[in-house]
Structure 1
Amino acid sequence: MTKVIEADRGFQVWWHLTRPHTLTASFAPVFLGTAIAATISQHDINFLLFFAMLMASMLIQAATNMFNEYYDYKLGLDNENSVGIGGTIVRHGVAPKTIMMIALSFYGIALLLGIYICAASSWWLAVVGLICMLIGYLYTGGPIPIAYTPFGELVSGAVMGMGIVLIAFFIQTGTVTWEAVLLSIPSMILVGGIMLANNIRDIVGDTEGGRKTMAILVGRERAITILSLFFIVSYLWIIGLIIIDDISEWGLLIVLSLPMPLKAITVFRAHKAPKDVMPAMKYTAQTNTFFVFLLGVGLLVGHFLS
């Protein structure tokens, strides 16, 4: 019985290391890009490519989280009281080099999946994929980590939000269209919002650690306002596409996700302690997941009913 409990705890340690609440930032864009391909471009979907892309994206996201854990520990930013981290190093005594080896192993598996995707679509994707993997490493690694600058939201949004949507679209269609670009913009904004929410929560610790994130530069209250604008623009963007008849009214399914951003902003306004604003992190991540998923579903329903 003791061994079962210990094994369960061991699994939980490694599961938390991946920071599962962030993995939706890779799942949702893959689904959206594939839905756009099935509707706007009316291509038959290659489900093997879809699942390969989905797995590769989630592995890269998990590895990026591990790089974050590793380098934040090395720079002295994480301790056993830090919130929002996997905690495998500072709380559970896992060797930092083990974290790095797991992250690189995930990259290796993603690379193999990428080779399959390229062979089935285009080898130009190899260049794009390697750039995405490099950015994932440089986000918290390298001489000037991107996460320590005001550009973390922009880079993460462009790569994990828009980039994944367009790659998922390309491997199904062999091209990238303006329609796909326009529909990927809310995903880009909302993934950037996840990073901004993270930086709002960590604003005190990041300031002490020498980071220069957007939240630090503009201040906590303005950062919360910017996050609110991220949410507002995302919803208005899709409503605008419906008004100009670029997509069907089924795109309005996104309004079902509205409670999530409202809760996120409410929590951020009411609390400041990192532990107390953790629900806001969850709601922000859920906004991205439900919004993008509902948009994809709306596109599919509108297509099949037309």
Structure 2
Amino acid sequence: MKPATAADWVSGARLRTLPLAIAPVFLGTGAAIVATGAGQFHWVRALLALIVAFCLQIGVNYANDYSDGIRGTDNNRVGPARLTGSGAAAPRTVLIVALSFFGLAAVAGLLLVIATQQWWLLLVGAVAIAAAWLYTGGKRPYGYLGLGELFVFVFFGLVATLGTTYVQAGTVNLESWLAAISIGFIACAVLMVNNLRDIVPDKASGKRTLAVLIGSTAGRAVFCVFLLAPFLTVGFFSLFYPLAFFTFFVLLLALPACLITVTGRTAGELILALKLTSFAGLGYGVLLGLAFAL
């Protein structure tokens, strides 16, 4: 096997998941502007929050590559080849890269703590990094126990959105809570369709994801609930923020993703649904966040 190329490392970062890091920051920043008043935009803190989210997302992707690879979970995967599982990169190298991104997230988070003087946020950051590692790492990874969706809901929904609002406004409001829950559901949808794609090899390797536990048919239905329920929030916010109505245009991505997931049978179809879902999350976060801000 030839050594991993730069393109392989970029692929290993799983760029299609990065919208999950961007969307909560847009939503949290928009909610913070509502809380502090028009024109009160702490762009440095917003940027640091984005760096934390980006680095955590990339770090957990590489950590997942490493942990699944050394367990042999990725040996028969149906999606793109992984660095560790394919042998393109040494496990230790992938681990170092994963830990490096966690370290970058910690540095950006520390700068946020210093800026806000809210030292208790150090504990939140430490728990987030530990949870990111233990998703597939350690002796009993909770990602193998059907708890992956709970992880992404809490950390890529609640913590990312509410944390972004808090470090800018010093408080959280109804906008941030409802937005956090909504984007958390979309993050769960991304993970669900990803695990539906891998349901056969995951079952064979003993990786008990939620998709494996409830089965393919129920998993597809749950995916649609995760992805479409957040638009109820859009309807509510449209009563108070007229621009929020434009977030309904994201259904042009979400509805095809649901149709493909419900009817699709091949890995390629589910990969397309994954991409559509990820970009739906990005569109949701950007459009609703701008509706708050403007």
Aligned partners of 1:86, 1:25: CA distance in 2, in Å? Answer: 22
Q: Of 55, 60, 74, which residue of structure 2 is paired with 1:59?
A: 55
Which structure 1 residue ranges, 4+ long, deviate > 4 Å from structure 2?
none
1:38 correspondence with 2:49: no
Counterpart contact for 1:19–1:85, Cα < 8 Å: no
1:271 correspondence with 2:267: no
Aligned partners of 1:167, 1:15: CA distance in 2, in Å? Answer: 28
1:13 correspondence with 2:8: yes
Deviates more, 1:96-105 or 1:174-183: 174-183
Counterpart contact for 2:68–2:85, Cα < 8 Å: no
Counterpart contact for 2:257–2:276, Cα < 8 Å: yes
Please state how far the C-alpha of 1:40 moved relative to its aligned partner: 3.8
Please state how far the C-alpha of 1:86 moved relative to its aligned partner: 5.6
Equivalences for residues 1-306 of structure 1 within 5 A: 10-42=5-37, 44-79=40-75, 82-85=77-80, 87-91=82-86, 93-121=88-116, 122-243=118-239, 247-301=240-294
Counterpart contact for 2:195–2:209, Cα < 8 Å: yes
Select the structure with the greater relative contact order (CA < 8 A; seq sep ≥ 6).
2
Counterpart contact for 1:69–1:86, Cα < 8 Å: no
Structure 1: runs of 5 or more not aligned: 1-5, 302-306
Superposed CA deviations along residues 233-273 of structure 1, whole A, max 9, x for unmatched, are 11012213434xxx312111111110211111222233222
Aligned partners of 1:277, 1:194: CA distance in 2, in Å? Answer: 11
Please state how far the C-alpha of 1:49 moved relative to its aligned partner: 1.4
Please state how far the C-alpha of 1:85 moved relative to its aligned partner: 4.6
Q: Against the structure 1 CA distance between its residues 214 and 49, is the aligned structure 2 distance closer, same or farther, given a 3 Å change threshold? A: same
Counterpart contact for 1:19–1:86, Cα < 8 Å: no
Please state how far the C-alpha of 1:155 moved relative to its aligned partner: 1.7
Aligned partners of 2:193, 2:249: CA distance in 1, in Å? Answer: 21
Aligned partners of 2:12, 2:262: CA distance in 1, in Å? Answer: 28
Letter in 2 for 1:239: G
Deviates more, 1:30-39 or 1:178-187: 178-187
Superposed CA deviations along residues 142-184 of structure 1, whole A, max 9, x for unmatched, are 2221211222112211111121001110110112233321222
When normalised by structure 1's length, the TM-score is 0.89
Counterpart contact for 1:18–1:86, Cα < 8 Å: no
Aligned partners of 1:210, 1:145: CA distance in 2, in Å? Answer: 12
Letter in 1 for 2:98: A
Q: Secondary structure at the match of 1:129?
A: helix
Please state how far the C-alpha of 1:127 moved relative to its aligned partner: 0.8
Aligned partners of 1:62, 1:220: CA distance in 2, in Å? Answer: 27
Structure 2: runs of 5 or more not aligned: none
Aligned partners of 1:201, 1:141: CA distance in 2, in Å? Answer: 21
Aligned partners of 1:179, 1:291: CA distance in 2, in Å? Answer: 14
Q: Against the structure 1 CA distance between its residues 238 and 105, is the aligned structure 2 distance closer, same or farther, given a 3 Å change threshold? A: same
Letter in 1 for 2:33: A
Aligned partners of 1:156, 1:149: CA distance in 2, in Å? Answer: 14
Letter in 1 for 2:121: L
Identity within the alignment, %: 28
Deviates more, 1:69-78 or 1:269-278: 269-278
Q: For the aligned residues, what is the CA RMSD?
A: 1.9
Letter in 2 for 1:295: L
